[in-house]
Every structure is written in structure tokens, then in C-alpha cells.
Structure 1
Amino acid sequence: MSAGATAVSRAVLVERPGVHRLIGREVPVPGPGEVRVRVAAAGVCMSDRELYDGHRAPEYVRYPVVPGHEWSGTVDAVGAGVDPALLGRPCVAEGFRSCGRCERCRYGETSLCTAGYAETGFTEPGAFADHLLVPAGLLHPLPDGVDLRAAALLEPAAVVAAAVRAARPRPGERIAVVGAGTLGLLAVQWLAASSPGELAVVDPRAQRADKALGFGASRTLTPREADGEAGRFDLVVETAGAPPTAASSCLLARRGGRVVLTGMFTAGATGIDPVHLSLSQLEVRSVFGASSAAWADAVRAFSLGLLDPAPLVTHEFPLERFGEALALVGGGDPGTGKVLLRP
């Protein structure tokens, strides 16, 4: 770079649904209480596809926006009031920009913050970029030498951690995971550590279901086969977000069983039968994002080697090929796992 030249930081900007371009901008400077992260890897998920296609609810996106809410990187600058010891630390950070002051935040339920929705990559600039600014209070430092490629999946891992917290798995239970996508396979890996008596995975895609066996599942079922197992499972963790899976997951649970819904459902999904719900005395919980506590669980499990998301990654692209990466996500190829952008 010649003397006096301004350093450039690239970013994928989605100007409006269906329209994006790679932009160059000055390297952002962290303000008070912020850190700047040099992004190592950023995952592309269906929420990013929904954002790009214009299918995300208006209150949960703000165009133009730089997407990217699943990421890892290294702190390369700190703002005023931030511990300089963070410089050079590998890290991830929570996506929800919780206020830390409302009643729900004070209870530790930061994903239920009442100050209004704000999230990295949806309403705030995200990680499909060379650099990212985040509040230092949301940062989760990682051990030196960590696999930052795998660490980019700690955001979905934190969602799974939130689901497991809600699920309260106990040794010897019969557990079903509905869906063998990123969330489903991470859930299998996590739940396998609870010593279940049975850990079944329900997915119509044989290739994805078979992968679950390598993550600790004891058997796999197609949705049709699962219909014959109604009322059998102590715990059902739904991760697919498909139109019928909230209702079908409740049917899989035994009377008095527990169901946790983590999939992102859209309008028109099949409703849960209230008669079945009341007569079966089911406990049903839903998860949207992850609290600070769930993030801490995921980071600890990853740092200790108890959770390994690396085998989920199947494709990596530079920022310039964002369009190709996005096309793979939701494209229907069962061989496509987690797609990463590598700035």
C-alpha cells in the first residue's frame, strides 16, 4: 500500500431483497466499549437466505445491511474503556444486542430483552466482511490456537445449548431429534453426551440421517416411520422448522413428555392440536436465539472438545463468491452441510 493510502475493508452489502454487491469501505474504528474483529469465517444459513429473498419479517431486518450472524475471528482493535488484553484473542460474540438493563436481561434472559430487537447481521452490520464491530460486553474469548473455521458454528451451537437447557435431558431417556440439518446434528452431538437410552433422528434425507449416526444417534427414522412411533419419546427436540414438524414432534412425545421447538417456522405451518396438548399434558418450549448463559455453555463445550462442529462444514467461499454460497443454502442438495464465507 502506498504512503497515505487508506486501508480498505470489504463487505457484502444487501441493498434490498435480491440485490447485493461487494463494497470497499474504510476499516471501521471501534467506539467506546467496542472491539473490532478481523473475521476468520462466517456461516451462511437459511436465515441469511430469507433475508436475501425478502422473506424475513420486516421487524427483524433493516436494509441495506451486511449479513452474517454466525462467525468467528480475532480481536484486532479495541475502543476506549475496553481491556487491551483482548487484542489478538480469538473470539465469537452474541448476536442479540441486548440492553443489559431491562427486567428480562437482569434475570439473565438476554434473548428476551424488551428494549427492542437488534441483532448482528440483520439490523446491525454483520460478518460477511473483513471486519466487524461488536460491543465488548457480548464477546466470548476462545482459547489460543482454536479452530476458527469450526468456531464459526458456535452461534447455532448456542441455540442448541439453549434448547438443551430447556429440555433438561436425563440419562436413560428416549430422545428424538427432528431434523438433521446444522441444528439437528449439533443437537445430536450434545444430547449424546447426556447418556440417553435411545437417540433417534427423524429426517427424510437418508444421507443427512446417516450422518447423524456418526454424531451419536442410535438410529434414524423417516417421517413415515416416525408416524408409527407416536407417544414413545420422553423428549423431542425439533430443529427442522418445516411446516408439519411442530405438530408431528408433539405427537412423538409420550404423555407428560417434553418438546422443545428450535426450528424457524413461517406463516402457514401446521398448528399444534390443543386437545392433544392438554390431554397428553405435554411440556412445550420454544427457542429463538440464545441467552448469554447458553452462549457460555456452547463456548465451554467447544473449548473443552466436547462439541466439534468442524465435520458439518462442506463448502467454503471467498466474499466475492457470496452469490454461489447463498445458492447452495436451501438448494436441496443433501450433500450440502454448513457453507462458510472466508474473508
Structure 2
Amino acid sequence: MRAVRGRGTGTDGGGAAVEVVDVGEVPGVPGADREIELVAAGICGSDLGYLAMGSTLLLGHELAGVGADGAAYAVEAVFGCGTCAQCAAGHRNRCAEVHLRVPGMTIDGGMAERYAVPASALVPLPDGLPVRDACLVEPSAVAWRAARIAGVVPGSRVAVVGGGAIGLLAVAAAQALGADEVALSARRAERVEAGRRLGATVLPSGSAGSPGPQGSPAAGYDVVIDAAGTAGALADAVGLLAPGGTLSIAALHEGDLPLAFLPAFLKEVRVVMSMAYGADEHGVRDVDAAAGMLAARPDIAAAVVTHRFPLEDAAEAFRVAADRSTGAIKVVVEP
């Protein structure tokens, strides 16, 4: 069985950091009781980060495939202990042991021909969502949760800072939750264009407080989602918020949070952290809501997925994903 493994080189996550290897058994999550035949696996920025840290594990957590029953599934790739109160409530992302089961970092991931997971991690695909696009369910769930727990509701005005896959999927999530307007601040031309294709109002990068496209103030959004993970993005996000607005942080920040206190304080900004995905107060999983969003809008996958490679070309796929000059947004490996 072929799979994609980190070479432990500690490089920037490019193609030289991975290799396609033969493995003797189906990789999987401890306690797994179901196998899926993989159809698509997305490359996440986290995968590149694990490679930069020297990972020698199999990679991949944005997964979709077909089960032994012939049905198509995505994978809810946050694996808690399964027995604590947080797991029982559907919040495996808050499990104290979740760090022990991180695909690509602490356990083998699923960028392989087959992968084994617990039955509870399977996400049945709704009609209208092709399995080759369903690797977007996992990152879409990240974006969905960031918008949902920030309080995006019909009538909200929302801005997203950062035009990578999570940022673009956050645009779509805010729209699906009923926002009246969704704006995007992105730096690279291909990401700006993808935002336009999704129907976002495009803001110039670093435009907090400057006039919008029709001369109206760009600032004044009820919710701003940080999907960039930089100090500059946080400054822009605070500048774009209306007084009393909510800053939803979906991006990873290294070290302490570089949030300028006084501008946020004067607006009485509410800050929420959104870590991966879980379930809402009614028990609806973010992954299921995300799958429904993707099924309803095939244009999301068309805008976000820019490159697809067969498994044997995984090294080239990772090179393209790590090199922003390629125009890559979401790169998919197809076993």
C-alpha cells in the first residue's frame, strides 16, 4: 500500500520533504474500526508545518473516500479520547488528549490508498457533493465553526482577513449563515479573484478604515474572521470591526497573541478563539454542516481547489503547495 511520508528533513515543507513509500498495513487512528479507500486528500498548511518540524509520519487529515459499504465519506479528523465529557458532548477538539492523535504530527495521517478511522469520525456525503471534492469538508468545518461561534446570523456584516483556503471557505460559511455582506481582504491576485468568484466584496489588503468600493467606510463589520495568523492581520481585523463587534480567530499564531490592546479596548471588541471543529448546542457537527454547504454550492470547490495530483506525484504536489508563486490555494492528492 502506498502512502506519503515526511522525510524528517525539517525543510520548509516543499517536495523534498516528502516521499511516497510502501507500508505493510493500513495506517489509521488508534481504536479505528472502519476503513475507507481514499479518493482525495487535501494538503493543509498544518502538513507543511509538521514537515518543517521534521515529521517522519504519514501525512494528511483532509480526507475523503469510499467505505466498505460503498458509501462516500469525508473524515472528521479531530480524534479525542472518546470517553471524556468533552468528547461525549461532541467537542473532541477540546479533549485533553486530542494532541496525542494529530494525523501527521503524533500519529500517521491518511494520505494513503486506505486509512482506518473510528466509525464516529465518518461524515456521510450529502447528494451533490462529489467525493473528490469532499476533502474540503474538513477545512470547511474549521471555517464554519469560526463563523458560527462568532455569531454570524442573517443580517450580519462580515469581513475575512486572509485569502487562503480557510479564509475563502470562511467567506462561503458566512454567506451560508445568512450574512448580508461578506468582504475579503487578501494579498495575492489569485486569492482576490477566488473571493470575487464566491461573491465577496474585495477590500484592499490593509484597508481598515479606508473607503470601500462605493465610497462607504470599510470599517464597521459585526464580525471579522482572522484567517491569516499575523500581527498585521489582527490589526486590520480590529480596524474593520464595528464598536462592540466580534473578532473570531481561526488562524494559528506563534507565541503570544499580537493583539494591540488600545484599539480593541476602545471598541470593546469581543474576541473568540475557534479551534478546529466540534458540534453546536443542538449536537449538529460542524463537519456535517460544512458538507451541506459544499453540496449546495459546487462553485466553492471550483474556486478553492487549484491543483490536483496523483499519489505518485505527491512530492510535486507538496512543492506546489509550499510555493506561493505557483498560485496554489488548495492542492489535492488523489490516491
TM-score range, shorter chain: 0.7 to 0.9
1:205/1:334 contact within 8 Å kept: no
Is the partner of 1:97 in helix, strand or coil? coil
- Asked whether 1:168 is paired with 2:151, we answer yes
TM-score (norm 1): 0.83
Q: Using the TM superposition, give the Cα deviation of residue 227 of structure 1 relative to its aligned residue in structure 2, in angstroms.
A: 4.6
Deviations 1:239-278 (A, max 9, x none): 1223421232122211100110111222477x11223333
Residue identity over aligned pairs, in percent, reads 29
Of 247, 250, 257, 2:245 maps to 257
2:170 and 2:135 map into 1 onto residues whose CA distance is 16
Deviations 1:26-52 (A, max 9, x none): 342989751111110111121111111
Deviations 1:11-40 (A, max 9, x none): 112142345332212342989751111110
What amino acid sits opposite 1:153 in the alignment?
L
Q: Paired residues, what number?
A: 316
Deviations 1:127-177 (A, max 9, x none): 221111111121112247841121011110010111122122133332211
1:150/1:308 contact within 8 Å kept: no
Show the counterpart of 1:159.
142
Show the counterpart of 1:35.
34
2:234 and 2:98 map into 1 onto residues whose CA distance is 27
Structure 1: stretches of 5+ with no match in the other structure: 1-8, 56-62, 77-86
TM-score (norm 2): 0.85
Show the counterpart of 2:264.
277
1:162 and 1:206 map into 2 onto residues whose CA distance is 26
2:27 and 2:320 map into 1 onto residues whose CA distance is 33
2:254 and 2:271 map into 1 onto residues whose CA distance is 18
Show the counterpart of 2:329.
337
Question: Who wins on radius of gyration, i.e. which is larger?
Answer: 1
Show the counterpart of 1:6.
none
Structure 1 residues 209 and 114, CA gap change in structure 2 (3 angstroms): same
2:27 and 2:250 map into 1 onto residues whose CA distance is 36
Structure 1 window deviating more from structure 2 (275-284 vs 179-188): it is: 275-284
2:298 and 2:129 map into 1 onto residues whose CA distance is 13
What amino acid sits opposite 1:92 in the alignment?
A
Is the partner of 2:48 in helix, strand or coil? helix
1:210 and 1:318 map into 2 onto residues whose CA distance is 26
Of 277, 281, 286, 1:290 maps to 277
Show the counterpart of 2:47.
48
Is the partner of 1:160 in helix, strand or coil? helix
Q: Using the TM superposition, give the Cα deviation of residue 182 of structure 1 relative to its aligned residue in structure 2, in angstroms.
A: 0.8
Deviations 1:63-99 (A, max 9, x none): 43100011100113xxxxxxxxxx2111011111112
Of 175, 198, 204, 1:222 maps to 204
1:302/1:308 contact within 8 Å kept: yes
1:89/1:144 contact within 8 Å kept: no
Of 146, 166, 179, 2:162 maps to 179
Deviations 1:160-218 (A, max 9, x none): 1111221221333322111111111111122223443432111122332132122021x
Structure 1 window deviating more from structure 2 (280-289 vs 221-230): it is: 221-230
Show the counterpart of 1:200.
183
Of 111, 114, 117, 1:128 maps to 111
Higher relative contact order (CA 8 A, sep 6+): 2
1:90/1:144 contact within 8 Å kept: no
